[in-house]
């Protein structure tokens, strides 16, 4: 199992489809953005952030991160669903950002953590 650490979190209550953004760190090396999306029927799910591009006249979305293991994907989504990192946000322990001061880019996340990419 990979080591999964919380980096930052932000809510987007006004966005129609993207409700939350969480940066996690995998094995102390890789920063990955996961978003909580809302479907048209109201369901919520976690997914890696994706890039949208028009291809052959149709909009397609491409994941920005792909893991080779279904076990890693399951572990990440379990970590996000359990939301144990929320207690640390609320208590201020190990939380470098809050919804009021979230980074706007991965380089800002690195600056906050003092870790180069």
Q: Band of the pLDDT at 107, cuts 50, 70, 90?
A: low
Quick one: what percent of the chain has pLDDT higher than 70?
Answer: 74
CB 102 within 8 A of CB 9: yes
> What residue segments make up the domains of the chain, in order of their start?
4-109
What is the per-residue pLDDT across 37-72, written as a single tens digit (0 to 9) for each? 999 899 999 999 999 999 999 999 999 998 888 899
Q: Name every residue whose Cβ is closer than 8 Å to that of residue 6 and which is 6 or more positions away in sequence.
A: 22, 24, 25, 85, 88, 94, 95
Between residues 4 and 88, the one the model is more confident about: 4
Average pLDDT (71-93) is 82
């Amino acid at each position: 199992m990979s080591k999964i650490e919380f980096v930052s979190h932000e809510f987007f209550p006004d966005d129609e489809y993207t409700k939350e953004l969480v940066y996690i760190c995998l094995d102390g090396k890789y920063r990955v953005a996961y978003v909580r999306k809302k479907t048209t029927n109201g369901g919520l799910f976690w997914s890696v952030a994706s890039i949208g591009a028009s291809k052959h006249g149709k909009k397609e979305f491409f994941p920005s991160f792909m893991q080779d293991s279904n076990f890693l994907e399951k572990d990440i989504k379990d970590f996000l669903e359990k939301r144990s990192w929320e207690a640390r946000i609320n208590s201020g322990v190990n939380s470098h950002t809050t919804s009021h001061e979230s980074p706007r880019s991965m380089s800002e996340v690195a600056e906050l953590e003092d870790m180069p990419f």
